[in-house]
Amino acid sequence: MADAPTTADAQKQAPASALRPRPPKSPTRVPKLDPLQGELSRRAFVWHGMAGFITLLTLCFMRFFFPRTLFEPKTRFTIGYPSDYGFGVDTKWQQKFRIWVCRGASGLFVIYARCTHLGCTPDFKPAENKFKCPCHGSGFDTEGINYEGPAPKPLLRCHLELDPTGQVVVDTLNLYDYEGNKAFKGVAPASSGPLLAA
């Protein structure tokens, strides 16, 4: 009968690493908070907040030095000499001043390019020789008379006069209806009207 293995035999068979005593586990390290660093970040936060607040106050203060101006197109301006405009419709001022300069049998007049239906800006259609509103289809002839679509009345005309150099001055605040009656109660212009015979 074989002898039972003794402790000495077991120690002989076990690997050396298993027999080596393990070092005691070091306690888990809890990182220490640096109180100085926390204080610094708190200070930085406060400083940034104060800097933002001061900047905002400065901007609000500086706002009072700038005028509250609306940059709208001029309502009174010159467009050159009457001889610069031939018979028919000239659209070169449509974008800048919202007007068309027209010359008919009776002379020079300027139509204000605002549809009398709901105020859209019509386009001039040279092929059809008419003004056509893109919004609801109103049509006006070259005198500005409405003849199709929902527009209830003709286009308005601007006040015209000549300055001392002979150039045409247009005033889009003083408008007239087709018959030459004042369309709005404004300050009456000193001279001339919606038509220049020149």
Provide the binding-site residues for ligand FES, judged by CB under 6 A. Answer: 115, 117-120, 133, 135-138, 149-151
* E-strand stretches of 142-190: 146-148, 157-162, 168-176
CB of 116 to ligand FES, least distance (A): 8
Q: How far apart are CA 131 and CA 112, in angstroms?
A: 12
CB of 144 to ligand FES, least distance (A): 13
Residue closer to ligand FES, measured from CB, 130 or 159: 130
The enclosing H or E element of 196 equals strand 195-196
Residue closer to ligand FES, measured from CB, 97 or 131: 131
Residue closer to ligand FES, measured from CB, 85 or 140: 140
Q: How far apart are CA 86 and CA 100, in angstroms?
A: 13
Q: Rounded to an integer, what is the distance from CA 108 to the centroid of its chain?
A: 35
DSSP H helices in 64-153: 94-97
Place of tokens 């408008």: 175
CB of 121 to ligand FES, least distance (A): 9
CB of 153 to ligand FES, least distance (A): 12
Q: How far apart are CA 152 and CA 138, in angstroms?
A: 9
CB of 142 to ligand FES, least distance (A): 17
Residue closer to ligand FES, measured from CB, 120 or 169: 120
Q: Rounded to an integer, what is the distance from CA 132 to the centroid of its chain?
A: 27
Residue closer to ligand FES, measured from CB, 89 or 133: 133
